[in-house]
Chain A
Amino acid sequence: MKWKNVLYNSFFIITILISYTASAQVPVDSTAADSALLKQIEQQMQATPQPAAQPSQQGRSGLSFNPDIGVIGDFQGSYISKGNKNFNAYLNETEVSLQATVDPYIRADFFLSFARDPETGKYGAEVEEGYLTSLSLPAKLQLKVGKFREAVGRINPTHPHALPFIDLPNAYVNYFGDEGLNDEGVSLSWLVPNKKFYQELVFQATSGQSESPTFFRGDNNRFIYLGHLKNFFTLSDNSTLELGLTGITGPNDSSRTTSIAAADLTYKWKPVQMNTYRSVTWQSEFYYGHANLLDNFSINSFGLYSFLQYQLAKRWFLTGRYDYAQKPYDKTIVEQAYSLTAGWYATEFSKIELEGKTTDINTESRFYQAWLRWIFVIGAHGAHQY
């Protein structure tokens, strides 16, 4: 009797399974219109005789939840006319990027940097950036939380390998260091509902733990605050103008306050039709620092850079830059520099650049520098810049 029961039960289960699978094979959306689509696709597939409709390779095995992974190599050779160690060659940085959407609410971006410490010569790993970005906040708001390059003008948010020159402008390095203002905290940005031109307002509050020449987190609860207003104007189909205004304030190493006001102005000419062959960019940033160091003693300093980039041909770029910088701790020390960079962009995934620079500082004699760098990218296709 028992085996009969088992047989009946199995038969029953199998019947259910078969009917279930059969019903699952019926297209869920089988409206007349959709079957018309299917018919067309079938006709089309029959009409193409060649191995036209190859089965898509993105089969089951091709799909995964792995993030987009990219690795960027930055190999450099350098020369400096002063000192005893004049020539050098090094893998300046290896950057690993991992990017994906986390869930319907946020996406995540990580940039891990493996770089040589110029002092010790040893390689170290650090999180260059690691943050989440909200995807569904209301009222045109977007939240960023984590460690990120802050919204100071045009250079600071850009990773150095994507800049059109190899060294950073003197004024920028004086205020923000070689790593830039790159700190941990929150960033809230608001897309201003302005239909005439693009306007974005960003507010950032960060802990001030990261290394910086200007700011220093003491044994207290004072943070770094930043506000940035980006205005972007379309002048014509082929030209645009961007004007950004930034204010930053935070504690310095005297446990007092340093504030920086910055402005950035970028004009771009890029003919829409031939935009891969010709372009001109003129970009400048101005920094004004006010450092309160003692009672009744503060230093105001100023710095700027301005570069003109000309695209000669599809693969060739020429960039000339002028730097002016007063030292934020002693405005009587003034640096002035001129540099010229030639870039050959082989593809979207590799470029070679050569830069020469001459620097005058009013406290020492003129010196010269040169760099050669090769940037190479594997993995995910990154976003283009504008």
Chain B
Amino acid sequence: MNKKLIIFLISLNIFAFANAGSIKVVTTLTDLKSITELIGGNKVSVSSIATGYQNPHFVDPKPSYIIGLSNADLFVTIGLDLEIGWSPQLLASSRNTKIQKGAPGYVDASAGIGLLQVPSSANRAEGDIHIYGNPHYWLDPLNGKVIARNIANGLERIDPSNKSTYEANLQAFYKKIDDKMREWQAKMAPFKGTKIIAYHNEWVYFETRFGLNIVDFMEPKPGIPPSPSQLVKVIKEIKADNIKVIISSPYFTTSSSDVVAKQTGVKELTLATSVGGFESVKNYFDLFDYDINQLTATLK
């Protein structure tokens, strides 16, 4: 009799859960949120801790983020120590066993990514280097496919009943990336090998995919603010190589690029590094649309 009651109660619980409708997902970055929404469709409700216009390495670990994490079914992270200063402690404080590292609800989106700039030694004399490789891999649209696969795997682990939906959405995502890739490649083709300067070393995946050539950075070393000697070096390079543009991100000041622009006439361009970086960048496809349109318009 008791056994029957327990079984009844358990099945009631499962039923209630299945009917709850949406899987609660918390992502560290907005790009992961966008891809999760595209894969999860109406089965998920997603929130991102970081906004699209803030430095992903320096997100403040506000306790208020813990509320969302404590109720989440799935957590998606860029990994590779990009979020090391803030996400591990938020995760630990969430008291949510479903989304801890190693649990089914933990998705490291970097699994299977072909990493660039993996250092051969770990030495902080080189600045803020990442020992597993450059973590800004979502800026290559083809890596978006790997991220999407990882997110789909996570959703299917915790919600196997909707596997077919996730797989269908994943295939649609792949197709759209492939279609857009042709368009983006075509737009960028005339600028293959174009030399540019970047503020911070966060464009290597974008650069490699679209054939740009970042010759130097405003930061003398990753994470070290531009120094006068570095500005002199950059000014010389711009003049020698007739470089047309310095690309930067919404969360860096333009004061040092302004100086260089004044000296050389180089154009300054703030690109979106994440979804939400600018108001018109509403999803992962918009991100590349925006950046490529801005770049091609400036380099023309």
Listed in ascending order, the chain A residues whose CB lies under 8 Å from chain B are 33, 36-37, 40-41, 44-45, 47-48, 50, 52-58, 104, 107, 133, 135-137, 140-142, 191, 194-195, 197-198, 200, 230, 232, 234, 237, 240, 242, 270, 272-277, 314-315, 347-349, 378, 381-386
Q: How many residues of B contact A (CB 8 A)?
A: 55
Q: Which of B7-15, B38-46, B115-123 participates in binding chain A?
A: B115-123
Tell me how far the C-beta of B203 lies from the nearest C-beta in chain A, rounded to whole angstroms.
Answer: 14
A56 neighbours in B (Cβ, 8 Å): 115, 118, 132-133
Shortest Cβ distance from A43 into B: residue: B142
B67 neighbours in A (Cβ, 8 Å): 194-195, 197-198
- Complex: how many Å from CA A200 to CA B95? 12
A275–B60 contact, CB under 8 A?
yes
Shortest Cβ distance from A379 into B: residue: B124
B70–A44 contact, CB under 8 A?
no
The answer, yes or no, to whether B17 is at the interface (CB within 8 Å) is no
Q: B225's contact among A55, A315, A386, by CB below 8 Å, is which?
A: A315
The answer, yes or no, to whether B190 is at the interface (CB within 8 Å) is no
With A198-B66, A230-B63, A384-B85 in contact, is A57–B250 under 8 Å at CB?
no
- Complex: how many Å from CA A37 to CA B67? 34
Shortest Cβ distance from B177 into A: residue: A40
The answer, yes or no, to whether B22 is at the interface (CB within 8 Å) is no
Tell me how far the C-beta of B98 lies from the nearest C-beta in chain A, rounded to whole angstroms.
Answer: 10
Tell me how far the C-beta of B51 lies from the nearest C-beta in chain A, rounded to whole angstroms.
Answer: 6
- Complex: how many Å from CA A107 to CA B88? 12
Main secondary structure of the interface of B (DSSP, over half): loop
Please encode chain B, from 86 to 126, with 1 for each CB lying within 8 Å of some chain A CB and 0 for all others: 10110011110100101000000000101110111000100
Tell me how far the C-beta of B72 lies from the nearest C-beta in chain A, rounded to whole angstroms.
Answer: 13
Shortest Cβ distance from A134 into B: residue: B95
With A53-B115, A273-B53, A276-B251 in contact, is A234–B58 under 8 Å at CB?
no
Please encode chain B, from 113 to 150, with 1 for each CB lying within 8 Å of some chain A CB and 0 for all others: 01110111000100010011100000000110110010
Counting from the closest, the 4 A-B pairs by CB-CB distance are: A53-B114, A384-B85, A198-B63, A232-B63
Which residues of B165-200 have CB atoms within 8 Å of chain A's CB atoms?
167, 170, 174
- Complex: how many Å from CA A57 to CA B250? 32
A386–B62 contact, CB under 8 A?
yes
Shortest Cβ distance from B225 into A: residue: A314
19 CB-based A-B contacts, threshold 8 Å? A33-B149, A40-B145, A44-B114, A52-B114, A53-B115, A56-B115, A135-B97, A136-B97, A198-B66, A234-B62, A234-B64, A276-B251, A347-B124, A347-B128, A347-B223, A348-B128, A349-B124, A381-B84, A381-B85
A274–B251 contact, CB under 8 A?
yes
The answer, yes or no, to whether B280 is at the interface (CB within 8 Å) is no
- Complex: how many Å from CA A272 to CA B86? 14
Tell me how far the C-beta of A202 lies from the nearest C-beta in chain B, rounded to whole angstroms.
Answer: 12
With A277-B253, A315-B225 in contact, is A40–B85 under 8 Å at CB?
no
B149–A347 contact, CB under 8 A?
no
The answer, yes or no, to whether B208 is at the interface (CB within 8 Å) is yes
The answer, yes or no, to whether B202 is at the interface (CB within 8 Å) is no
- Complex: how many Å from CA A304 to CA B204? 51
With A44-B142, A137-B95, A275-B54 in contact, is A191–B66 under 8 Å at CB?
yes
B97–A384 contact, CB under 8 A?
no
- Complex: how many Å from CA A230 to CA B81? 29
B95–A142 contact, CB under 8 A?
yes
The answer, yes or no, to whether B265 is at the interface (CB within 8 Å) is no
Shortest Cβ distance from A51 into B: residue: B116
A383–B208 contact, CB under 8 A?
no
A232–B142 contact, CB under 8 A?
no
Q: A240's contact among B64, B95, B152, by CB below 8 Å, is which?
A: B64
Tell me how far the C-beta of A313 lies from the nearest C-beta in chain B, rounded to whole angstroms.
Answer: 9
- Complex: how many Å from CA A272 to CA B49? 11
- Complex: how many Å from CA A242 to CA B84? 24
